[in-house]
Amino acid sequence: MEVLIGKDKGRKGKIERVFPTQGLVIVGGVNIYKRHRKARGVRKPGGIIEMARPLAISKVALVCPHCNKKTRVGIKIADGKKQRFCKKCKGEL
């Protein structure tokens, strides 16, 4: 996936988690923020922790593995099974 808008525009990463009801995704290595955490005893020390925040699904685009371009996804039915394909190069995803 490639980020289209914001401070990480143009950066690529894999989707780690999806929140379909909110329309959000977490992309690895993108939209990283620092959180200052207070110590909670011996097992949970305090410090500055880097964490990935979710992005809106509309702000990311799929990158085709064949043509390496941002693309939309098409669906075709062959032999009773749905197959996703790249709208630019017609390669299967």
- More confident site: 21 or 78: 21
Q: Which residues does 89 contact at the CB level (< 8 Å), separation at least 6?
A: 64, 66, 67, 69, 71
At 20 the pLDDT is 94
Count Cα neighbours of 7 within 13 Å in the Cβ-side half-sphere.
Answer: 7
Whole-angstrom distance, CA of residue 11 vs CA of residue 29: 9
Q: What is the DSSP letter of 54?
A: P
Spatial CA neighbour of 92 closest among 61, 54, 66, 72: 66
Q: With a cut of 90, say whether residue 90 has pLDDT above it.
A: no
User: pLDDT per residue over 8-62, tens digit each?
Assistant: 999 999 999 999 999 999 999 999 999 999 999 899 899 999 999 999 999 999 9
pTM here is 0.74
